[in-house]
């Protein structure tokens, strides 16, 4: 089945050829590559001339409207059963699509499958190999609690089914440049599990012109995403807070000599402190919901009959 790889490109003509070439070098042959030129002032079209004769290559151009809009335009033009998003300055290992397709075929209930990555500098020299597997937390299954604390993987590491995107919605342009973080949270919030492949199969380029360079804006928009997610999934957020608390206690009980876990705990606590107001709102919403439910006479009768458990001994 077809995999559509969507590549937004803004002033990355010097890198985009490598990105596209890595897509057509995949061991999984049934791929469609879509490049969206987001109003570049350089010449990405000229850099990609050798690919225009391919039936499975599409080149689109739009006025500069941002990466989220470009990705959504690529989604609209795509035909793939599965979708992958690659930035024009990054590239893929030749086996990534095959391995991720195999995972989705084996587990069709997944919301997405993702992998580790290699960080490289502007010249493509390796800075750091992927270390996600060393985080000491579960990277499979329900990622909602973990994602509430932080986004920890970029789009090029992900492959997702089109049907999942059709259910949860496309990239939200209002929260750029955190539109990918928002999408992963919405997918997890709808109850889709994820699967992690513990291999570094994607190459993420770090340079001054990269979208992740403005850290202040990233932090601001991450908070906007969290406010949106709390409003959309208040009960899920409240339940995730409880799970995070359990994890904190477990980590605290094992902290002797475990310096990496100690650092991770501090980071989690700091993140929770920063987002205390947002998360407290979610907890209050859940408590209000439970109190409203318990005030219902029919529900209370069912509690007395043992159909539902009581939160209080005298309920």
Q: Which helix (H) or strand (E) holds 304?
A: helix 297-304
Q: Report the alpha-carbon distance of residue 218 to residue 184 in Å, rounded.
A: 16
157: pLDDT strictly greater than 70 = yes
Q: What is the pLDDT of residue 72?
A: 98
pLDDT at residue 207 in the model: 78
Q: Is 87 exposed, middle or buried (0-12, 13-18, 19+ CB in 10 A)?
A: buried
CA-based nearest residue to 233, from 309, 176, 286: 286
| Residues of the chain above pLDDT 90, percent | 66
H/E run at residue 204: strand 194-205
Query: What's residue 314's pLDDT?
Result: 44
* Local structure of 165: helix, strand or coil: helix
List the end-to-end C-alpha distance of the chain, in Å, as a whole number. 55
Q: What is the pLDDT of residue 79?
A: 97
pLDDT in tens, 35-82: 999 999 999 999 999 999 999 999 999 999 999 999 999 999 999 999
Residue 285 binned pLDDT confidence (cut-offs 50, 70, 90): confident
Look up residue 137 and give its DSSP letter.
S
pLDDT in tens, 222-258: 999 999 999 999 999 988 887 777 666 655 555 444 5
User: Which pLDDT band, with edges at 50, 70 and 90, does 215 fall under?
Assistant: confident
136 — pLDDT class (breaks 50, 70, 90): confident
pLDDT at 216 (0 to 100): 85
Q: DSSP states of 64-116 as a string?
A: S--HHHHHHHHHHH---SEEEE--TT-EE-TTHHHHHHHHHHH-TT-SEEEEE
Q: CB–CB of 62/129 below 8 Å?
A: no
pLDDT confidence tier of residue 213, bands split at 50, 70 and 90: low
- For residue 131, pLDDT beyond 90: no
């Amino acid at each position: 089945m077809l995999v559509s790889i969507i590549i937004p490109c803004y002033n990355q003509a010097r890198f985009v050829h490598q990105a596209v070439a890595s897509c057509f070098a995949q061991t999984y042959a049934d791929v469609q590559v879509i490049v969206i030129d987001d109003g570049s002032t350089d010449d990405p079209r000229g850099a990609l001339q050798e690919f225009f004769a391919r039936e499975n290559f599409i080149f689109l151009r739009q006025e500069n409207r941002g990466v989220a809009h470009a990705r959504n335009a690529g989604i609209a033009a795509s035909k793939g059963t599965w979708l992958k998003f690659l930035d024009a300055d990054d590239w893929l290992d030749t086996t990534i699509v095959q391995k991720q397709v195999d995972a989705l075929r084996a587990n069709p209930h997944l919301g997405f499958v993702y992998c580790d990555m290699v960080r490289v500098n502007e010249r493509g020299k390796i800075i750091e190999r992927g270390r996600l597997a060393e985080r000491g937390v579960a990277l499979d299954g329900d990622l909602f609690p973990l994602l509430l604390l932080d986004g920890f993987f970029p789009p090029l590491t992900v492959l997702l089914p089109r049907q999942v995107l059709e259910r949860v919605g496309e990239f939200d342009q209002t929260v750029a440049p955190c539109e990918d973080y928002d999408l992963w949270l919405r997918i997890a919030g709808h109850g889709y599990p994820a699967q992690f492949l513990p291999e570094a199969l994607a190459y993420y380029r770090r340079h001054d012109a990269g979208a992740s360079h403005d850290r202040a804006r990233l932090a601001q928009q991450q908070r906007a995403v969290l406010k949106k997610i709390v409003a959309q999934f208040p009960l899920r957020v409240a339940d995730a807070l409880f799970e995070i608390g359990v994890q904190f206690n477990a980590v605290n009980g094992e902290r002797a000599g475990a310096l990496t876990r100690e650092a991770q705990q501090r980071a989690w606590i700091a993140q929770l402190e920063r987002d205390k107001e947002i998360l407290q709102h979610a907890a209050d919403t859940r408590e209000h919901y439970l109190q409203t439910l318990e005030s219902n006479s029919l529900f209370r009768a069912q509690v007395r009959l043992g159909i539902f458990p009581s939160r209080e001994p005298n309920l």
